[in-house]
Structure formats: C-alpha cells, structure tokens
C-alpha cells in the first residue's frame, strides 16, 4: 500500500493551506464549599502539558512558551504563563496550577484536587487528533529542522492511527524520511483524542480508588467540576484547512457531526460518574491571528466563514446541553459562552488595556504557533506581552486568559460550585 496512495492524497493536500500547523488518608476537599476537584478535557486552551511526551509536532514545551511562568519554565502550556484551567482551579479555591495528568511527577494529593486531560490540537471530530497540518512548504522544512535542533533527535511523525482509510494507509506506509514529508507537506500528528482522554480519566479513577478507597473516590468524581472545550481545531484545521471533511460535509452537516461526537463524549463522561460538566462554547476562531492571515484578505480581517461556523456550532451546542441535563438524572451541563466575551476582548482590546489585538506576540505574530514559535524567533518576539491579546497566532496571552477566566467564572459561578 501505499506510497502511491499517500502521494495521491498528499498532492491533494498541497492545494490547501494548512494551519498549525501539549497514599493519602483523606481527600482535603470536603472542607470547603466548592467542588473537591477540577478536571479539564479538550484542547490547547485547557492543556497544561499532556502533549509533552507525545509523538506529535503540536507541542510547546520549549521557550519562549512559559516565559512568564514559574521563572520562565516551559511546561507545555500553549501560553506565556497560566491557561484557563489553571485560573479556574484557583477561582474554585483548589490550587494555582492544574497539573497535566500525564505529568510524571504527580503525587496523590495532586490527583485528588484535580488534573487536566486536555490535549492541544485535539477535537470532537476523531479525525482531528490524527491528521496534522502545517502551514507552508518552507515553514514545514523550517519546523523540521527547528524541532530536531530543539530536541536533538529527528522527527518521526507516525503515531497510532485508526479510523479513516487515509490514516490506516499512512500508518502502514512507514514514511520516515523527511524528504518525502518535505515534498508533500504531510505531517502526521497524534494527540489525545476525546475517547482517549476519557480512557485516561478511567485510569485516573482507578489510581485514586487505590489511594483513598472506593467511597471517597466516587465522591470526588461525583462532586467535582468538569470543564471542557473543543471544536476550534475541527473547524479551523480539519474542516477549512484540509479537504478530507469538506468533500463529504457542508458546514451545517459538519457541525452536526461535531455535536454528535460531543454529545456521546458528554454521555460517556456522565457514565463515569461525572455530574457537573461545564462546556465552553467555541470562540470566534476566525479572529485569531493565523485565521486572519490565511483567510482574512490583505487587511487581515476576521475570517467570516470560520466565525459563522463557530456560531452555528454554538447554536446547536447550547440546546444539546439543555437536553442532556433533562435526560440524564442528576446531571448539570452548563453551556458557557466565551464567544461574545472573546469577541469583545479581540475587537475592543483597548478597553481591556491591550495595544495589539490582531497579531501574536511570538515572532511576526501572523502565523507562528507551536513548533514555529521558538527561540529562533526571539528577536521578533514582543518584549511586553501584557500589551498583547494573543501570545502566538492561535492562543491568548496569560493576561487575556485571566480576563476571560474571571469574566466567565463570574458569569457562571453559581452553576459551577
Ligand atoms: C495511575 O496508574 C497507572 C496504572 O497503574 C500508572 O501507570 C500511573 O503512573 C498512575 N498515575 C499516577 C499519576 O499516579
Ligand atoms: C465593543 O464595544 C462597544 C462599545 O462599548 C460595544 O457596543 C460593542 O458591542 C463591543 N463589541 C463587542 C464584540 O462586544
Ligand atoms: C481576576 O480575579 C482575581 C480574583 O478575584 C483577581 O485577583 C485578579 O486581579 C483578576 N484579574 C484580572 C485580570 O481581572
């Protein structure tokens, strides 16, 4: 199989521009009024380092990521500092940092107050965590060299793949040479899919059950707050930047597919004992710097089609969560709008004390994210990121995330506690 098939598919890929391309006796929690723990699922907005050891190009555990964090430590957060899952953990009175579940140094007490399962670049669409995507041909070669330079080892992009014929073809093809990849602009990513985030959560439950016993573990699971966000990568990356879904789906039917996958994830999470599940809406993804660059014309306006897709998705997500709350006894699914808050922060950024609202701090600010945002860009990278809404071309700065987290928390706190 395969090389031919790959090449055919790869050629198709070249016509589209890719975007993007991280033993205790008692639980402490029963003391305060808030939830005993916070758990985060979804993508890079909540990921606190789960991609660090994965075989993927979509990570950020190198400088300048984390430059304002614990003395400049790159932890795998897609930000210069803390991300919304950290802020939310603090606002809920739990802790200042929500550790990534795959973080190796975790102690039992870290587990008991919550961890994150989110994985940058994942999506509700199962294809999203498997395909990957990188910007331009020159950016691809640069990124390959950059990452080898950073990690000291060459890339292998083949991860465990399943599902579509494309994926299985590629998994059988043993592409390992950079040249082929370079010519055909294909990078395979393998980040943690939503079902696999749930599998990690099941493992987590076994871990804490072993540590504190069945009864206490069940209590933590049932009384905690769950937060999640996904969908951005499905729309911006999988749908608009690759041909794989567009040949079969228009935007309305693709958002239906996303809602179906999202809702089966929510039901599975409920099946694991989770009750209070807060789901962030999709942001105005068309206004992030990379979408402005790729789809916003010469003036780098917001990509209207991406924003419209996000709005359509949100208009289906909100009633779906209401239905689930009715259907599933004891559940509370909370739709948390971040679309409007973020649009206001993006468009009225001066009101919030920002000077730049359409470019990231890292590099030129137009396209760099993940492996393209690295030390080689240092001279171009901004000095004062508190003046920027965006840290890289996809992700907000710590300051913008803090404002978003505060506003969202204040709006929904009665339902989160
Ligand atoms: C949870 O349990 C698994 C399987 O026993 C183990 O490999 C893993 O290290 C544990 N994780 C933590 C964070 O304790
Ligand atoms: C921006 O601010 C103006 C004036 O306060 C307001 O009318 C408008 O709705 C804001 N934009 C967004 C997207 O919230
Ligand atoms: C967010 O809320 C916290 C807690 O109320 C407060 O200390 C912090 O200053 C707020 N941050 C911003 C940027 O508004």
Tell me, in angstroms, the distance from the centre of ligand 1 to residue 405's CA.
30
For a pLDDT cut of 70, what percent of the chain falls above it?
78
- Residues 307 and 282: their CA atoms lie apart, in Å, by 9
In this predicted structure, what is the pLDDT of residue 33? 77
Q: What are the distances in angstroms from CA 105 to CA 69, 99, 101, 110, 111?
A: 18, 10, 10, 10, 11
pLDDT of residue 132: 59
- Specify the length of the chain in residues: 417
CA–centroid distance, residue 388 to ligand 3 (Å)? 18
Question: Residue 253 is inside which H or E element, if any?
Answer: helix 251-271
Are 57 and 21 in contact, with CB atoms under 8 Å apart?
yes
Q: Is 260 a catalytic residue?
A: no
pLDDT tens per residue, range 297-333: 889 999 999 999 999 999 999 999 999 999 999 999 9
For residue range 209-243, what is the model confidence (pLDDT) as tens digits? Answer: 999 999 999 999 999 999 999 999 999 989 998 88
Q: Out of 203, 205, 206, give the residue to mutate to test ligand 1, the one with the largest number of ligand atoms within 8 Å of its CB.
A: 203
Q: How far is the centre of ligand 2, averaged over its atoms, from the C-alpha of 344 (Å)?
A: 6
* Number of Cβ atoms within 10 Å of the Cβ of 99: 23
Residue identifier of the C-alpha nearest atom 1 of ligand 1? 207
Any ligand 2 atom below 6 A from CB of 407: no
Query: Which segment of 68-82, 148-162, 238-252, 338-352 scores lowest on mean pLDDT?
Result: 148-162
Q: Whose CA is nearest to atom 2 of ligand 3?
A: 406
Looking at residue 374, its pLDDT comes to 85
- In the predicted model, what is the mean pLDDT of residues 178-192? 49
**pLDDT over 70 at 373, yes or no:** yes
User: What are the tens digits of pLDDT across the range 4-41?
Assistant: 222 222 322 322 222 222 233 334 444 457 999 999 99
pTM of the model: 0.83
Residue nearest to atom 9 of ligand 2 (CA): 344
Distance (angstroms) between ligand 3 centre and the Cα of 146 equals 37
CA 71 to ligand 3 centroid distance, Å: 21
pLDDT at 163 > cutoff 80: no
120: left (phi over 0), alpha (psi -120 to 50) or beta: beta
What is the overall mean pLDDT for the chain?
A: 82
Q: State the Rg of the chain over Cα.
A: 20
Per CATH, the architecture of 23-123+192-230+246-416 is what? 3-Layer(aba) Sandwich (3.40)
- DSSP one-letter string for 93-147: TS-S---BTT-TT--HHHHHTEEE---TT--SSTTTTTEE--S-HHHHHHHHHHH
Share of the chain above pLDDT 90, in %: 66
What is the mean predicted confidence (pLDDT) over 282-302?
Answer: 94
Position of tokens 């009101």? 351
| Strand, coil or helix: 208 | helix
Going by C-alpha positions, the residue among 224, 201, 198, 330 that lies closest to residue 278 is: 224
The pLDDT-based confidence of 133 (bands split at 50, 70, 90) is low
CB 222 near ligand 1, within 6 Å: no
Active site residue 323: no
Q: Of all atoms in ligand 3, which is nearest to the CA of residue 406?
A: 1
Residue 112: partners with Cβ closer than 8 Å, 6 or more residues away: 24, 27, 28, 29, 36, 37, 208, 211, 212, 220
Say if ligand 1 is within 6 A of residue 24 CB: no
| Nearest residue to 274 via CA among 78, 103, 35, 44 | 35
Question: Which atom of ligand 3 has the smallest separation from the CA of 90?
Answer: 4
Exactly one of 135, 261, 349, 395 is catalytic; which is it?
A: 395
Give, for ligand 2, the residue of 348, 350, 358 to mutate: max count of ligand atoms closer than 8 Å to Cβ.
348
Section 280-292 average pLDDT: 96
Q: Residue 355, Cβ neighbours under 10 Å: how many?
A: 12
Cβ-in-10-Å burial (0-12, 13-18, 19+) of 366 comes to middle
Q: Exactly one of 261, 392, 393, 405 is catalytic; which is it?
A: 392
Q: Decide: 347 in ligand 2 pocket, CB within 6 A.
A: yes
**Catalytic choice (10, 44, 241, 331):** 44
Which helix (H) or strand (E) covers residue 187, if one does? strand 187-188
Q: Could you tell me the pLDDT band of residue 354, with boundaries at 50, 70 and 90?
A: very high
Spell out the residues 6+ positions from residue 226 whose beta carbon is closer than 8 angstroms to its own. Answer: 38, 39, 40, 41, 269, 274, 276, 277, 278
Helix (H) or strand (E) holding 39: strand 38-42
* Contact by Cβ (8 Å): 49, 119: no
């Amino acid at each position: 199989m395969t090389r031919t098939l790959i090449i055919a598919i790869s050629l198709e890929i070249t016509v589209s521009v890719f975007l993007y391309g991280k033993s205790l006796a008692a639980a402490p929690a029963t003391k305060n009024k808030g939830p005993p723990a916070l758990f985060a699922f979804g993508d890079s907005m909540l990921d606190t380092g789960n991609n660090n050891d994965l075989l993927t190009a979509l990570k950020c555990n190198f400088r300048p990521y984390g430059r304002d964090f614990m003395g400049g430590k790159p932890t795998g957060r897609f930000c210069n500092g803390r991300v919304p899952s950290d802020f939310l953990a603090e606002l809920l009175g739990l802790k200042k940092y929500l550790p990534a579940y795959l973080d190796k140094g975790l102690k039992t007490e870290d587990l008991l107050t919550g961890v994150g399962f989110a994985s940058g670049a994942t999506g509700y669409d199962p294809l999203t965590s498997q395909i990957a995507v990188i910007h331009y041909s020159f950016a691809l070669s640069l990124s390959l060299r950059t990452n080898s330079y950073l990690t000291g080892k060459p890339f292998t992009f083949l991860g465990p793949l399943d599902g579509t014929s494309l994926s299985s073809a590629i998994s059988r093809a043993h592409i390992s040479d950079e040249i082929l990849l370079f010519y055909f602009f294909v990078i395979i990513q393998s980040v943690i899919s939503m079902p696999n985030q749930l599998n990690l959560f099941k493992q987590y439950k076994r871990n804490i059950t072993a540590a504190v016993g069945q009864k206490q573990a069940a209590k933590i699971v049932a009384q905690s707050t769950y937060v999640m966000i996904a969908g951005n990568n499905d729309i911006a990356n999988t749908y608009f930047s690759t041909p794989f879904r567009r040949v079969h789906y228009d935007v309305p039917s693709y958002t239906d597919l996303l809602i179906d996958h999202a809702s089966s994830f929510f039901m599975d999470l409920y099946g694991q004992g989770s009750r209070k599940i807060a789901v962030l809406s999709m942001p105005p993804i068309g206004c992030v710097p990379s979408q402005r660059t790729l789809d916003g014309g010469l003036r780098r306006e917001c990509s209207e089609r991406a924003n419209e897709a996000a709005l359509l998705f949100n208009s289906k997500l909100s009633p779906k969560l209401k239905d689930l709350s009715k259907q599933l006894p004891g559940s509370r699914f909370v739709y948390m709008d971040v679309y409007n808050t973020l649009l206001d922060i993006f468009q009225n950024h001066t009101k919030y004390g920002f000077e730049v609202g359409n470019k990231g701090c890292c590099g030129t600010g137009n396209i760099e994210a993940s492996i393209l945002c690295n030390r080689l860009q240092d001279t171009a990278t901004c000095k004062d990121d508190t003046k920027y809404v965006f840290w890289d071309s996809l992700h907000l700065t710590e300051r913008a995330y803090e404002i978003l987290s505060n506003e969202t928390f204040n709006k929904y706190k009665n339902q989160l506690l």
